[in-house]
Amino acid sequence: MESDTHLDHEELASLTAEAWSDHLATLPADEVRAMLAQVEPDRLAEVVRMLDEETAGRVIGLLPPERAAAVLSHLPDETAAAALGRPALQRAAEVVQELDPDDAADIVAEMDGRQRDALLEASGDAGDVIEELLYYPEDTAGGLMTPEVLSVRRQWTVGEAIDAIRRRAMELEQIYYTYVVDRDDVLIGVVTMRDLILAPTIALIDDVTKPEVVSVSVDTDQEEVAEVISRLNLLAVPVVDHEGRLVGIVTVDDVIDVIQEEASEDIQRLVGAGADERIDSPFLYALRMRFPWLLVNLATAFAAASVVGLFESTIAKLTILAVYMPIVAGQGGNTGAQTMAVVIRGLALGEIPVGQGRRVILRELGLGLANGLAVGLFTAAIAQLVSGRPGLGMVIGAAMVLNMALACAFGALIPLGLRRAGFDPAQASSIFLTTVTDIVGFTAFLGLATTALRLGWI
Amino acid sequence: MESDTHLDHEELASLTAEAWSDHLATLPADEVRAMLAQVEPDRLAEVVRMLDEETAGRVIGLLPPERAAAVLSHLPDETAAAALGRPALQRAAEVVQELDPDDAADIVAEMDGRQRDALLEASGDAGDVIEELLYYPEDTAGGLMTPEVLSVRRQWTVGEAIDAIRRRAMELEQIYYTYVVDRDDVLIGVVTMRDLILAPTIALIDDVTKPEVVSVSVDTDQEEVAEVISRLNLLAVPVVDHEGRLVGIVTVDDVIDVIQEEASEDIQRLVGAGADERIDSPFLYALRMRFPWLLVNLATAFAAASVVGLFESTIAKLTILAVYMPIVAGQGGNTGAQTMAVVIRGLALGEIPVGQGRRVILRELGLGLANGLAVGLFTAAIAQLVSGRPGLGMVIGAAMVLNMALACAFGALIPLGLRRAGFDPAQASSIFLTTVTDIVGFTAFLGLATTALRLGWI
């Protein structure tokens, strides 16, 4: 096995997950170190994701602290926490000291209380900073921010500000924006690096400060922080406490993660999967997150079935109704889902101002009606041709127009209503929608059929 | 109406869409200018979105060119193009000159050929730069980049580089990264602003250059550009041509738009809505995008219905089967959609390496089986209790376990298969999925019921 350590770059790149796992778990420490030294942190993070906890911990323990920190910052928080919990305490503390405090806080938040306390205690000053960050909920600006932010005073010169940046350049997460505060640390403006290098070094900060600085509060929701940074094309946004004092900064890279997270949440919540389930989440976690919504869906399915039950005698008279029944319900479900997808993205992108909901619902009702007329007419013609019953064609066509129009209206109404009621607009929306389209579809189709039968039209 | 121009900030903030539209269309130019001067560009963009084309054009024509450009850059490209096409050519050209070239290219790309050519001609040098950008497809690094990028040579001193940045600071979209090129303009490294301000001004660029610079090619897909910037936490990535020459830069703010766009595309494609339909897209556009997929869905619904048709005589004997039929199909559809949402996000985030597909499918099959057993058993018990037929409970339970297990397997298989075949993994996946869950659900349930009836078990 010795020759394995002489793997070159290309050979390393083509190693399978199993081979990596095997090498990292069994080779002597020196050889593992030599292997690891050849791989970039982001690629290494992909490898560590596939390892069992113990081997992942070994890798983190054997890497130089700075590289270990870089690898951890590319991992999902739970995976990083599990790996960081393995090496000796002093070693783990060295890694913590190399992490950006906001990343470190997210990772240690996943550890159990005693392990976390011991690790932060061992991490000295860095531990104290992280401890403070843990105070804020993870999905707020406070939970997202790093407290390492440079502030200057308006009385300083540009030269003094540049010197201050230079002194702290290595620890600052970004140096592009420098924030101006008053004597109480209250945020009063911002100076960009562009302003600083354009101004003469003896100019006063006051002369280059832009007073209209956009900030967020420690308890601003992360989605809103992302919206501000993305709308204003910022590289970072300052975070202030309730007295307006500058306490940290959220950078654009954290916001990208938030946007990706929210996109996953929207699409997964829509169908009742766990908002933060990932493709490599534990089996039981995935099961536990999905199961309750399947039960909700079952309950709504029974409600729809009981509608069908009301018309059992009609179906007994004309069993072909059972054949067309799913078509009416299914088309409603599909067209309503189209509406819902567009509305949920509109809400996520902030494109539907409060008060504009009615306009959106009416537009969708119109779309549903138009598509319903086209699809309904087409289906009616086919049903009539195939079954040889003109009455059946008319019943199915009318039921489809009604169901598709209402499906689109409800496809907009459900997420808008959920938002107004203070819930996530995507939460299980598609389950609620299917309930509506099944019940409306079955009632309209079987109800019309019952009447038509009674009148002798079918 | 005259007093309206004395509206203060707060009054302006509370104006309705109709009032804005009314004021902007009817007031004299001077008064409109006074109104507009009080509103920030990003807020103004929200207002312009709600206006008709003519009024929007009036606003763009009356704003100072720099502010007009800021407003346009916050608008969807089509809306911006329509508004920019209204003012006099020379005026529009002044606005174009103030836009970042990459934004300008996206906007003029939406105009018709003659209008675009005239505008670019009138825009002078800026027009030439934009013309070159139009050469690249919109969804590639070339289409996304701005060509205004600063490059320096390794022989320069740090002081010379800072002077160069200072001279071009106002036109550069970012000054944080400076790229190092050789005499053929081939990209050979990167220097960050941090490196520059930490180094003595007489140091050589060569001494502070990091040679391991990550770049993308002009024809790299925008999704991959976003993935690189997001994975490596970059503020920008340089774009090179096929000879490795530096030709532009893509900044993180453009990438955020790409990520949002791709998230919209995924969730909307999933249900067969147009990938780039927005909540304010024209009615006919929305209709045209959604209709074809409704026809596809109709075709698949007829396929599922024909399965039911095969069992018409069974349903005629036992009409209660028509009542439970939608439950079996619906639960399969829902649990399969849960899988699909997680898999599509996993693909979007690059978390499913090629070759790992089989593992994902097996995992999902297991999840479907586990949830199927739980939900199936529960449903069987209810069906048995309500109908008083033990045989019916067993038939429905067995059909649900089978359908839910296969639903999850197909929920993973469909997007993975679409990706392997070179399609978008989300494209109408949910329509294909429902086809599978309907056909499997109906066949299993009605098939088992037919056999059970024949054997006298129900």
Q: Note whether A293 contacts B: Cβ–Cβ < 8 A.
A: yes
| pLDDT at B2 exceeding the cut of 60 | no
Predicted local confidence at residue A10, as pLDDT = 67
**Stretch A198-202: mean pLDDT, rounded?**
93
Q: Note whether A303 contacts B: Cβ–Cβ < 8 A.
A: no
**Residues of A numbered 62-121 whose beta carbons fall under 8 angstroms of chain B's beta carbons: which are they?**
74
DSSP sequence for A260-314:
HHHHHHHHHHHTT--TT--TTS-HHHHHHHHHHHHHHHHHHHHHHHHHHHHTHHH
Q: Note whether A363 contacts B: Cβ–Cβ < 8 A.
A: yes
Considering only CB atoms, A330 lies closest to which of B297, B320, B363, namely: B297
Nearest of A258, A195, A185 to residue A215 by alpha carbon: A185
Same structural domain for residues B360 and B423? yes
| Helix%, strand%, coil% for chain B, nearest 5 | 65, 5, 25
Side chain identity at A393, as an amino acid letter?
A: G
Query: What CA–CA distance (Å, rounded) separates B411 from B368?
Result: 10
Segment among A1-15, A142-156, A195-209 with least mean pLDDT: A1-15
Same structural domain for residues A86 and A213? no
Confidence of residue B1 (pLDDT cuts 50, 70, 90): very low
Same structural domain for residues B195 and B306? no
Predicted local confidence at residue A309, as pLDDT = 93
**Stretch B288-305: mean pLDDT, rounded?**
92
Query: What CA–CA distance (Å, rounded) separates A446 from B267?
Result: 32
Q: Note whether B122 contacts A: Cβ–Cβ < 8 A.
A: no
Interface A–B counts its CB contacts (< 8 A) at: 308
Query: What CA–CA distance (Å, rounded) separates A140 from A219?
Result: 5
User: Which of A83, A105, A135 is where one domain is finished?
Assistant: A135
Q: Which two tokens stand for residue A447?
A: 């109800």
Q: Which strand (E) or helix (H) includes residue A88?
A: none
Same structural domain for residues A99 and A160? no
Residue A231, domain CATH: 3.10.580.10
pLDDT tens string B202-252: 999 999 999 989 999 999 999 899 989 988 889 999 999 999 999 999 999
pLDDT tens string A217-227: 999 999 899 98
Q: Note whether B380 contacts A: Cβ–Cβ < 8 A.
A: no
Same structural domain for residues B69 and B203? no
Considering only CB atoms, A338 lies closest to which of B193, B253, B290, namely: B290
Q: Is the Cβ pair A266, B263 closer than 8 Å? A: yes
Answer whether residue B8 is part of any domain.
Answer: yes
> What Å distances lie between residue A346 and A258, A416, B207, CA to CA?
17, 10, 49
Same structural domain for residues B287 and B432? yes
Same structural domain for residues A254 and A305? no
Nearest of A397, A418, A409 to residue A437 by alpha carbon: A409
Q: Is the Cβ pair A308, B322 closer than 8 Å? A: yes
Residues whose CB is less than 8 angstroms from the CB of residue A423 and which lie 6 or more positions away in sequence, other chains included: none
Query: What CA–CA distance (Å, rounded) separates A194 from A350?
Result: 31
Q: Is the Cβ pair B334, A263 closer than 8 Å? A: no
Predicted local confidence at residue A2, as pLDDT = 41
Q: Is the Cβ pair B290, A260 closer than 8 Å? A: no
pLDDT tens string B30-56: 988 988 888 888 888 888 888 888 899
pLDDT tens string B52-61: 888 999 999 9
Nearest CA in chain A to B379: A298
Considering only CB atoms, A309 lies closest to which of B304, B305, B323, namely: B323
Q: Which residues on adjacent β-strands are paired with residue A151?
A: A179
pLDDT tens string B159-199: 999 999 999 888 888 889 999 999 999 999 999 999 999 99
Q: Judge whether B74 and A351 are in contact, CB under 8 Å.
A: no
Answer whether residue B444 is part of any domain.
Answer: yes
Tell me the pTM: 0.79
| pLDDT at A3 exceeding the cut of 60 | no
Identify all chain A residues contacting B294, using CB atoms and an 8 Å cutoff: 331, 334-335, 338, 371, 375
User: Which of A104, A135, A166 is where one domain is finished?
Assistant: A135
Same structural domain for residues B189 and B327? no
Same structural domain for residues A307 and A203? no
Answer whether residue A165 is part of any domain.
Answer: yes
Same structural domain for residues A306 and A253? no
Predicted local confidence at residue A273, as pLDDT = 86
Gap from B144 CA to chain A (nearest CA, Å): 15
Predicted local confidence at residue A8, as pLDDT = 65
DSSP sequence for B132-181:
HHTTS-TTBHHHH-BS---EE-TTSBHHHHHHHHHHHTTT-S--SEEEEE
Identify all chain B residues contacting A412, using CB atoms and an 8 Å cutoff: none
| pLDDT at A95 exceeding the cut of 70 | yes
Answer whether residue A265 is part of any domain.
Answer: no
Q: Is the Cβ pair B342, A286 closer than 8 Å? A: yes
> What Å distances lie between residue B429 and A407, B102, B273, B417, CA to CA?
20, 33, 11, 10
pLDDT tens string B357-382: 999 999 999 999 999 999 999 999 99
Confidence of residue A77 (pLDDT cuts 50, 70, 90): confident
Query: What CA–CA distance (Å, rounded) separates B223 from B139?
Result: 8
- Say if residue B172 is exposed, middle or buried (CB neighbours under 10 Å; 0-12, 13-18, 19+): middle
Q: Judge whether B296 and B272 are in contact, CB under 8 Å.
A: yes
Q: Note whether B343 contacts A: Cβ–Cβ < 8 A.
A: yes
User: Which of B135, B167, B202 is where one domain is finished?
Assistant: B135
Same structural domain for residues B337 and B217? no
Gap from B114 CA to chain A (nearest CA, Å): 32
Predicted local confidence at residue B170, as pLDDT = 81
Most distant CA atoms of chain B, gap in Å:
96
pLDDT tens string A166-183: 998 888 888 899 999 999
Residues whose CB is less than 8 angstroms from the CB of residue B316 and which lie 6 or more positions away in sequence, other chains included: A316, A319
Answer whether residue A142 is part of any domain.
Answer: no
Considering only CB atoms, B198 lies closest to which of A169, A194, A290, namely: A169
Identify all chain B residues contacting A375, using CB atoms and an 8 Å cutoff: 291, 294-295, 298
Q: Judge whether A379 and A385 are in contact, CB under 8 Å.
A: no
Q: Is the Cβ pair A264, B352 closer than 8 Å? A: no
**Stretch A194-214: mean pLDDT, rounded?**
93
Identify all chain A residues contacting B330, using CB atoms and an 8 Å cutoff: 297, 301, 304, 434, 438
| pLDDT at A246 exceeding the cut of 90 | yes
DSSP sequence for A206-226:
HHH-BS----EETTSBHHHHH
Residue B434, domain CATH: 1.10.357.20
Nearest CA in chain A to B325: A305
Confidence of residue B10 (pLDDT cuts 50, 70, 90): low
**Stretch A223-237: mean pLDDT, rounded?**
91
Q: Which two tokens stand for residue A443?
A: 């009632």
What is chain B's mean pLDDT, rounded?
90
Predicted local confidence at residue A1, as pLDDT = 39
Block residue for tokens 């997929």: B293
Q: Is the Cβ pair A349, B293 closer than 8 Å? A: no
pLDDT tens string A257-314: 899 888 898 889 888 888 888 888 888 889 999 999 999 999 999 999 999 999 999 9
SS3 of B399, please? helix
What is the CA A412 to chain-centroid distance, rounded? 21
Q: Which strand (E) or helix (H) includes residue B220?
A: none
Residues of chain B with pLDDT > 90, as a percent, come to 63
Nearest CA in chain A to B307: A323
Identify all chain A residues contacting B324, using CB atoms and an 8 Å cutoff: 305
Q: Which two tokens stand for residue A212?
A: 């209209």
**What ipTM does the predicted assembly reach?**
0.78
CA contacts within 13 A on the Cβ side of B280: 18
CA angle A205, A209, A210 (to 5 degrees): 180
Q: Judge whether B225 and B148 are in contact, CB under 8 Å.
A: no
**Stretch B60-66: mean pLDDT, rounded?**
93
Predicted local confidence at residue B413, as pLDDT = 96
Identify all chain A residues contacting B346, using CB atoms and an 8 Å cutoff: 278-279
Nearest CA in chain B to A271: B338
Side chain identity at B262, as an amino acid letter?
A: E
Domain extent at residue A237? 151-259
Strands A236-240 and A246-251: antiparallel
Answer whether residue B273 is part of any domain.
Answer: no
Considering only CB atoms, A434 lies closest to which of B270, B330, B335, namely: B330
Domain count, chain B: 3
**Stretch B78-106: mean pLDDT, rounded?**
91
Residue B27, domain CATH: 1.25.60.10
Same structural domain for residues B296 and B437? yes
